[in-house]
Amino acid sequence: MKLRLMSHNQWKCDHNLPDWEKVGADCSAEVRVRGFVRVYKDTLPDVIGCQEVSAAMADYLVRFAAEEGLHYALLWGRDTPILYRPDKFELVDSAFALYPDEFPGHEGIFNNDHTKSWNLAVFRVKETGKLFIFVSTHLWWKSGNPEAKNYQAHSAEARAYQIGLVTEKIKEYQAKYACPAVLVGDLNCGYGSKALERAFAEGFVHAHDVATEYADESCGLHECFGWGYYDYYNDDPFPASIDHILIKDAPEGFVRRYERFSPDYYLPLSDHSPAIADVEF
């Protein structure tokens, strides 16, 4: 059975902002979520792991999708909810947690406004009866580079620590259900980072690296923030990506395609283009 899995950071912003108003634009949740629903109509994902989603945005997502004939159920997980098609999947089990504010043995807070978390679902595919674990996560955001404007010491190590926490939880659920796992989200770091290396050491592989038919080489980022947005996408290559789809213990040939969805109409919606993995299970 073919399934489409998505990771989608939506830029948590509920209300229109002055800099947007000045140029006649609108970055409110109501406007942008209608754009996200357009994305879902164009791509038809079966499971969506979201990040940076407010309660208002989550409400709009379910309601506006239904208005367009898309029926998604919501597994609430603070800023990291999961949307899924209840016609295709039975939710068997779930778990959620915020990452700790502290990184043991290091000074500082590593969870701004309690927005960094993981949200785990165990799904049964109704057509086949097969189980898989799907996790949406968002890691600490500051840079570990002392030359960066948003530098905070030990940030890279903190992200690796957070990956260790969520992968340990995934191990626990894999031991219980004996099934593959998919970990998606904004890890706020790219290839060569301590967090990704930790994930790889735990047995995960990147969907990009194991796709059998196509692997998108774009990074999926562009400028879209409180001050406004640029009308073009960054041209950084794939290793600069910070949104990832990671796979563990899946059968050979599980990932068919890995791609980004980056149409022109998406530019004022979020700074992160959705990442998509087409899998066969």
- Summarize pLDDT for 12-23 with one digit per residue, the tens: 999 999 999 999
The reported pLDDT for the residue numbered 33 is 98
The pLDDT confidence band at residue 158, using thresholds 50, 70 and 90, is very high
**Per-residue pLDDT averaged across 25-43, rounded?**
98
How confident is the model over 124-139, as pLDDT tens digits? 999 999 999 999 999 9
| Residue 266, SS3 per DSSP | helix
The reported pLDDT for the residue numbered 53 is 98
The reported pLDDT for the residue numbered 91 is 98
**Per-residue pLDDT averaged across 208-216, rounded?**
98
Number of structural domains (the chain) is: 1
Task: Quote the strand ranges of the chain, DSSP E.
Answer: 2-9, 47-51, 73-75, 82-84, 89-98, 117-125, 131-138, 181-186, 205-206, 214-215, 224-225, 228-229, 243-248, 255-260, 275-280
The reported pLDDT for the residue numbered 200 is 98
The reported pLDDT for the residue numbered 12 is 98
The reported pLDDT for the residue numbered 96 is 98
* Mean pLDDT over each residue of the chain, to the nearest integer: 97
With tokens 């340990």, the residue in question is 168
The candidate with the shortest Cα–Cα distance to 80, out of 206, 5, 224, 185, is 185
CA distances for 93 relative to 97, 121, 194, angstroms: 14, 6, 30
The pLDDT confidence band at residue 166, using thresholds 50, 70 and 90, is very high
The pLDDT confidence band at residue 204, using thresholds 50, 70 and 90, is very high
- Dist. CA 169–CA 162, nearest whole Å: 11
Domain that holds residue 34: 2-280
Q: Evaluate whether 187 touches 242 at the Cβ level (below 8 Å).
A: yes
Query: How many residues make up the chain in this entry?
Result: 281
The candidate with the shortest Cα–Cα distance to 93, out of 34, 177, 179, is 177
Structure tokens at 219: 């990074």
Beta bridge partners of 246: 183, 206
The reported pLDDT for the residue numbered 72 is 98
**Per-residue pLDDT averaged across 69-88, rounded?**
97
The reported pLDDT for the residue numbered 18 is 98
The reported pLDDT for the residue numbered 226 is 98
Assign residue 194 the CATH number of its domain. 3.60.10.10
- Dist. CA 45–CA 84, nearest whole Å: 8
The reported pLDDT for the residue numbered 269 is 98
**Per-residue pLDDT averaged across 185-200, rounded?**
97
Share of the chain above pLDDT 70, in %: 100
Q: Evaluate whether 185 touches 49 at the Cβ level (below 8 Å).
A: yes
